[in-house]
Amino acid sequence: MPIDATLPYDDNNIFAKIMRGEIPSTKVYEDEWSYAFEDINPQAEIHTLVIPKGQYVSWDDFSAKASAEEIAGFVRAVGEVARMKGLVEPGYRMMANIGAHGGQEVPHLHVHIFGGQFLGPMIAR
Ligand code: 5GP
């Protein structure tokens, strides 16, 4: 069920629980600003999620309110995860869903990294 991305942050969302270690995840990467783990229901050969450690519902929230350090740290983490996965060549796709029309289901900002195969058109038709 897609979320309303304008709602306040819910500290009990599933990714907050994953970061606190209350729900298991397959960790890929972690630093001061970010945490990355494998998607439980992969949509491509490689499907990894990168989340900021700060409490941001969506890209909208993050881009408006996060500090320059948080933004830089998170952007670098997304790139680092893709490099760690060996995706730069032949390429990959990154995506963030925002709110109802974006189909966002978990109310903690996450960037999807897809790769390991040709990914087809940008949006399903
Ligand atoms: P969204 O639709 O919000 O952009 O994407 C949410 C993603 O989170 C989906 O790809 C879904 O498979 C993934 N996901 C949902 N619950 C869990 C979970 O408990 N663990 C992991 N690793 N991924 C999850």
Average pLDDT over residues 109-120: 97
As a whole number of angstroms, the distance between CA 41 and CA 112 comes to: 12
Q: Determine the pLDDT at residue 123.
A: 84
Q: In Å, what is the CA distance from 57 to each residue of 15, 21, 63, 82?
A: 11, 19, 11, 23
Residues in contact with 4: Cβ distance below 8 Å, sequence separation at least 6, in sequence order:
99, 100
| Mean pLDDT over the full length of the chain | 96
Which atom of ligand 1 is nearest the CA belonging to 14?
Answer: 19
Distance 51 CA to ligand 1 centre (A): 11
Distance 40 CA to ligand 1 centre (A): 6
Going by pLDDT thresholds of 50, 70 and 90, the confidence category of residue 125 is: low
Q: What is the pTM of this model?
A: 0.97
**Test site for ligand 1: of 26, 40, 57, most ligand atoms within 8 A of the Cβ:** 40
Q: What does R_g of the chain's alpha carbons equal in angstroms?
A: 14
Q: Determine the pLDDT at residue 13.
A: 98
Would residue 110 show up in a list of annotated catalytic residues for this protein?
Answer: yes
Is the pLDDT at 5 greater than 90? The verdict is: no
